[in-house]
Amino acid sequence: MFTGLVGELGVVGAIEYLSESAVIKVIAPLLAPEISQGESVAVNGVCLTATSVGSDFFTADVMVTTLKMTSLKNIAVGTLLNLELPVRTSDRLGGHIVQGHVDGVGVVQALIPGESSAHLSIEIPRELTRYVVNQGSITLDGVSLTVGSIDDANSIVDLWLIPETLERTNLSRAKPGDLINIEVDVLAKYVERLLEKRDQ
């Protein structure tokens, strides 16, 4: 489990494409010393397993399904990645409950710099809009954020990014047309499931 608070902005050092997967090497000098082989790491919001670890890097296998269903299909050497290690039971839950299971891929509509924040506008898959509420939580590329507003008719979610988020994550580099991984609040999905079962 994760919280959506980015621990480091890593860099893709290498990618090897295989027949049914890819192996990525992520340069992460701050977090690598804390990672053990076999541990989970959230990479742009996707939960991956560290297959090898060095002093300043780790590698992870990305299955073909993950490549198809997430924005990781567009990464290249030099791409910046939001990284987070799993939460410890003793840690503060500073963001919200994040599983690292991507629900869909959105498209950046605009990133508009402001005086003290930036306005980020994302088009999300229509089927995910029912899980999004104003002032609720959403995860974009592994970053826990608060929804500013949602336009249900056009499936547009608007958010405002504070300077800390802009400095510590790759969202500051978002451009119109970029793909972005979306994980909605898992609590909303559980509530929906419970209500469905109650009515059966």
Give tens-digit pLDDT for 59-94.
Answer: 999 998 998 999 999 999 999 999 999 987 777 777
* Closest among 192, 77, 187 to 139, alpha carbons compared: 187
Q: What is the mean pLDDT of residues 112-136?
A: 94
Share the mean pLDDT of the chain.
93
Asked if residues 139 and 182 have their Cβ atoms less than 8 Å apart, the reply is yes
Asked if residues 171 and 120 have their Cβ atoms less than 8 Å apart, the reply is yes
Strand partners, 52: 59
Asked if residues 192 and 128 have their Cβ atoms less than 8 Å apart, the reply is no
Cβ contacts of residue 166 below 8 Å, gap of 6+?
A: 117, 118, 172
197 pLDDT exceeds 80?
no
Tokens read off for 71: 């924005």
Q: Give tens-digit pLDDT for 23-45.
A: 999 999 999 999 999 999 999 99
Tokens read off for 136: 């609720």
**Which residue matches tokens 């297959």?**
51
> What is the C-alpha to C-alpha distance for residues 52 and 198, in angstroms, rounded to an integer?
45
Global pTM? 0.91
Identify the pLDDT of residue 199. Answer: 67
